[in-house]
Structure 1
């Protein structure tokens, strides 16, 4: 039967309406679970407090917090090679590793620091304060010297970190804090494959030789050096590739990736972390770290170890066999 478009237009409308309803139902079935999951994640995720909306922070306390934020964002101006207070670091800013002055979710932020410090750390075997943890970064990630814990600068940094995490309950570590722990690969991370990822996704910003891009002001880096004399040393937390891989996955390429929308696969993140950490960098004496060697993380790249795995395996993996062996014990 041939339909007359002018006379049978109501029939066309009915058919179109049915098709639209079926399509809508199908889309909802497919999308609702992921929407719900994303909604729940965002609901529980830590969100930074706002200095502009905090009307209770006033006077000298507010000035200290603001100064602390400035020190985190512009560390090199105060403590870099040409530092106005002390020339004692490699020239990077704290926020080169702790994004957005330590306030970005999934960006190695400070949100759970106040909630979890003081605490006994296995790496030092000691009870550490926020100030001692900050100096750890000065000596390792900034490859410099510790600053006076009674100084105005340290007090300001501690005040800022404390304020940033003041809404987090003591002992809590909400989603979005620190760095993501990626699932282990079923193979060793591969620096060779990572070199390819670096060339395609990283060297535009960080340079052919990992040298980074210095700020025009002469203080700090727009894109930090990833290896070489001005990068973090072998005692830094990011020299463990599990830490670096998780950081890369959620944040790199910079401002092109996020936890919800990563630009790299897990394998790419592990491999490029392995490549970067296979490059030359300053060496730190860590002979006093991990007094109980059985507490070393599976990816701590320096022996001795309490297990039968080699330094090569502890640096690049595969890590699951190491983790499984520890469970047996």
Structure 2
């Protein structure tokens, strides 16, 4: 009961008592019966007690277990619906491994300085930085951020057919997106990167992927993505930064890229995540050109699909993928290399339309489920 309601009800009860007391006095007087009125201090005392009760009702009372459960559930749902934002680096000063975190973040932001062709630690990558794909050092919502990495790893991945750790996943990026070599998982560099990724997952519950994690998922087109249309969009929206030949722009020291190459010898190879059209189209739509965000895109979804098709139709380094996807049925719809278990061509798996593939796979899964149920 609210304070106002309690005062209102209490005042009404006092009024009723007063009326009854007067009525009793009048009746006693009419019958000649002696009447003893309420003592003078009754009303001040009663009002004081009412005020104390009202004050007491405003104090916080312990929640019941059901109240706590309801509140906790509501807070969890609200947290799930809230867009993820990276924790504040200002909090690092309170941590014992602040220097390790700084180094880990710098390795993501300036990978080429340490591991590029002129790397101060090792010369093992193509000159791109991790944050060319994982924007703003892995912190941008829908910018391929790291928010869900620590909460979901180790985990089984169909691509390797094995349970993978965070260091394994980091090395995958070095070998594929940066077309380089793996680093020792016990090295100072790997430990710093893992510590930084762990810190970015602060507050994320186990097995939870926060809203805004990873990449934006776009609806499939009802046609194949068109490299020719993508070439027109590239000329209009992309080549001012990445160049007409997709070579990117080197920084002043020529030790890395201000704008990364999108194809050619120094770009990501054919085993990178961006070589899958759905992944790359989602990345483009939410983040490109420079200044775009997931809620303020500068390209239509169709343009993003066509741009991804154009860029991924250009020459780039090849990776030996013979050990990838040991179970062909586990390949994503847009994995561009066979063999497949669904009968569709490599061309359609690369450019689409993807709807028929998805429908055929759903039919296969339903049939398989019925077969298993009948055994």
Do Structure 1 and Structure 2 share a fold, with TM-score over 0.5?
yes
Taking the aligned partners of 2:294 and 2:145, their CA distance within structure 1 comes to 13
Deviation at 1:149, TM superposition (A): 0.4
Which residue does the alignment assign to 1:275? Answer: 310
Using structure 1 for the length normalisation, give the TM-score.
Answer: 0.86
Structure 1 residue 275, shift from structure 2 partner: 0.1
Give the corresponding residue for 1:151: 187
The answer for the alignment partner of 1:114 in structure 2 is: 150
Q: How much has 1:42 moved relative to structure 2?
A: 11
CA contact (8 A) 2:271 2:321 kept: yes
Counterpart mapping for 1:3-152 below 5 A: 44-54=82-92, 56-58=94-96, 61-152=97-188
User: 5+ residue gaps in structure 1?
Assistant: 1-39
Deviations 1:168-225 (A, max 9, x none): 1110001100001100000000000000000000000000000001111222111100
Deviation at 1:56, TM superposition (A): 3.6
2:257 counterpart of 1:221: yes
For residues 277-327 of structure 1, the C-alpha deviation after alignment (integer angstroms, 9 at most, x for no partner) is 000000000000000000000000000000110000000000011011110
* Higher helix proportion: 2
> Could you say which structure has the greater relative contact order, defined with CA pairs below 8 angstroms and 6 or more residues apart?
1
User: Structure 2: any 5+ residue segments left out of the alignment?
Assistant: 1-77, 365-375
Structure 1 residue 251 corresponds to structure 2 residue 280? no
| 1:258-297 matched pairs, under 5 angstroms | 258-297=293-332
Distance apart, 1:43 and its partner CA: 6.0
Task: Look up the match of 1:208.
Answer: 244
Q: CA deviation at 1:53?
A: 3.2
| Change beyond 3 A, Cα 1:41–1:118 | closer
Please tell me whether the aligned partners of residues 127 and 256 of structure 2 are also in contact (alpha carbons under 8 angstroms). Answer: yes
- Of 149, 167, 171, 2:203 maps to 167
Determine which structure has more spread, i.e. the larger CA radius of gyration.
2
Q: Where in structure 1 do 4 or more consecutive aligned residues deviate above 4 Å? A: 40-43
Q: Which moved further from structure 2: 166-175 or 127-136?
A: 166-175
SS at match of 1:170: coil
Deviation per residue, 1:95-129 (Å, 9 max, x gap): 01100000111100001000000000000001100
The 1-side partners of 2:306 and 2:328 are apart by 26
